[in-house]
Amino acid sequence: MLDRNEIKVNLNKEIDESIQGSALKVKSTGPKSKKFYIESYGCAMNFNDSEIVASVLDTMDYGNTQDINEADLILVNTCSIREKAEETIRKRLKYYDIIKKKNPNVKIGVLGCMAERMKKTLLDDEKIVDLVAGPDAYRDLPNLIPVIEGGEKGMNVFLSRVETYDDIMPKRLDTGGIASFISIMRGCDNMCTFCVVPFTRGRERSREPYSILAEAEDLFRKGYREVTLLGQNVDSYKWINPETKEEMTFAQLLVLVAGVHPDLRVRFSTSHPKDITDDVLYAIRDHENICNYIHLPLQAGNSRILELMNRTYDQEWYLNKVKRIYEVIPDCAISSDMMTGFCSETEEEHQDTLYVMEQAQYSMAYMFAYSERPGTPAQKRFDDDVPEEIKQKRLSEVIRLQRQLSFAHNQRDIGKTFKVLIEGNSKRSDEDFKGRTSQNKVVNFAKKEGLKKGDYTFVKIISGTSATLRGEIVNV
């Protein structure tokens, strides 16, 4: 185990070299004669990957445009997690087809998970697609794009065991944001039976920590005040220093990133319940700027279903983990993902999901009906035998309960004061700011002279719905 002070010393020495490395390898070529437009779907990792793509294209003759109608190259970064996600992409391809009919020179590229899953069939099925590139192939775009410009089809769906893009500083596509993502690992080795991700993103690999720090420092210098460390299973982050053979765990990485500046908030997503350690909980407890918020997907509350899903924990184990989180960090908010109607789930087993939700007191949740994905272990081994209307009925019960739990969670905040990071104007009124608490809750409150986006202020909560809180600035 590395001592915290030792890490700091290493960090100071390495970080500048790392920034230089990134700057050297991803050099912008100046004014551009062509334009690319990129649309992203799916998880935060995909959005972050689009920024890596933007950075790679910046080394070519392509500048970014937000206007699809003036693009020479239209890219869509795709998701395969549920059938609906792929249907959305197919609809978009139909829309791009209309654009291509108006301007036959425009090229269409499909990136990301659907590109990886479908490979050449995507080129065969969708005639308008010129380019197919999987999540590990973005470094190859400077080779593939000239091929499609020459009128041929281009494809690279090779999945790497080592690619982490660690030397590429993502080019931020949002403008004026104060919160950003940093990918710390890629792929997933977990093999949950329902999930397509291990097939679309390949084996798990962790990114070199000093490049992560360099990115966090760079974001802070540019005015960002919140970073979310991203991975499909961040708790299994593990990096071994090739020279010293010392290991860096996720908890140690969290502490390092939190050291960039006390005003830089650090979040992370996603935690797998089986892997989150006490060290991670202590890191959150001991560092004010590591947010008191954990996304801890449950998927299902019944132990037999969890076993069929290969989640490797059961109901009791999950609930003990939740108990431990509240013990170490009493004001921690926990959110979750739930899936209804997995293969052979009975009504009684579904009730277990509702039971665990109540016990865990989630602040928020993402909820889905199970969607069978081709090639996954569940598709090969089990029957997708819960009728769609039952899946939907169970889903609406889960959603209804979560709405009540979120409302109750927010009601418990009334009268409490939170340190809030101001994100900008509220949706409803320019007179109000919108901010976020450490627990990841949105708070709206009246503006005050001298405060601006990116500042911290203290807000006392006066009311709340199931979605947001309302408060007023207080002096503490």
**Binding residues for ligand SF4, per CB under 6 A?**
188, 190-192, 195, 197-198, 232-233, 272
Judge whether 402 and 365 are in contact, CB under 8 Å: yes
Q: Among 201, 207, 350, 394, which residue interacts with ligand F3S (rule: CB under 6 A)?
A: 201
Of ligand F3S, ligand SF4, ligand SAH, none, which one sits near residue 82, judging by CB under 5 to 8 A according to partner kind?
ligand SAH
User: Which string of x and - marks every residue 255-274 that binds ligand SAH (by CB under 6 A)?
Assistant: ---------------x-x--
For ligand F3S, the closer CB: 28 or 88 = 88
For ligand F3S, the closer CB: 378 or 443 = 378
DSSP alpha helix (H) spans, 188-277: 197-201, 209-221, 250-258
Only one residue has tokens 């299973």, namely 233
Report the C-alpha gap between 403 and 407 in whole angstroms: 6
* CB of 79 vs ligand F3S, minimal distance in Å: 3
**Which residues lie across from 64 on neighbouring strands?**
36
* CB of 359 vs ligand SAH, minimal distance in Å: 18
Of ligand SAH, ligand SF4, ligand F3S, none, which one sits near residue 18, judging by CB under 5 to 8 A according to partner kind?
none
Q: Among 370, 418, 433, 445, which residue interacts with ligand SAH (rule: CB under 6 A)?
A: 370
As given in the structure block, the two tokens for residue 354 are: 């509702």
Report the C-alpha gap between 464 and 411 in whole angstroms: 6
* CB of 319 vs ligand SF4, minimal distance in Å: 19
Cβ neighbours of residue 223 closer than 8 Å, sequence gap 6 or more = 178, 454
* Angle made by CA atoms 34, 40, 43, in degrees to the nearest 5: 150
Q: Is residue 272 involved in binding ligand F3S (CB under 6 A)?
A: no
Q: Is residue 233 involved in binding ligand F3S (CB under 6 A)?
A: no
* CB of 421 vs ligand SF4, minimal distance in Å: 28
* CB of 358 vs ligand SF4, minimal distance in Å: 23
* CB of 106 vs ligand SAH, minimal distance in Å: 32
For ligand SF4, the closer CB: 154 or 187 = 187
Q: Is residue 194 involved in binding ligand SAH (CB under 6 A)?
A: yes
For ligand F3S, the closer CB: 10 or 46 = 46
- What type of residue is 202? G
Report the C-alpha gap between 43 and 166 in whole angstroms: 19
Report the C-alpha gap between 108 and 170 in whole angstroms: 22
Report the C-alpha gap between 312 and 299 in whole angstroms: 12
Of ligand SAH, ligand SF4, ligand F3S, none, which one sits near residue 474, judging by CB under 5 to 8 A according to partner kind?
none
Total of chain residues touching ligand F3S, rule CB under 6 A: 13
* CB of 436 vs ligand F3S, minimal distance in Å: 23
* CB of 3 vs ligand F3S, minimal distance in Å: 35
* CB of 117 vs ligand F3S, minimal distance in Å: 8
Among 51, 6, 4, 18, CA closest to 209? 18
**Which residues lie across from 433 on neighbouring strands?**
425, 445
If you write DSSP's letter for every residue of 92-159 in order, what string do you get?
HHHHHHHHHHH-TT-EEEEEEHHHHHHTHHHHHH-TT--EEE-TT-GGGHHHHHHHHHTTS-EEE-PP
Report the C-alpha gap between 127 and 97 in whole angstroms: 9
Q: Is residue 469 involved in binding ligand F3S (CB under 6 A)?
A: no
Q: Is residue 35 involved in binding ligand SAH (CB under 6 A)?
A: no
Where is 241: in which H helix or E strand?
A: none
Report the C-alpha gap between 454 and 422 in whole angstroms: 5
Which chain residues interact with ligand F3S by CB under 6 A? Answer: 42-43, 45-46, 79-81, 112-113, 196-197, 200-201
Which chain residues interact with ligand SAH by CB under 6 A? Answer: 81-82, 194-195, 197, 232-233, 270, 272, 297, 299, 337, 339, 368, 370-371, 373
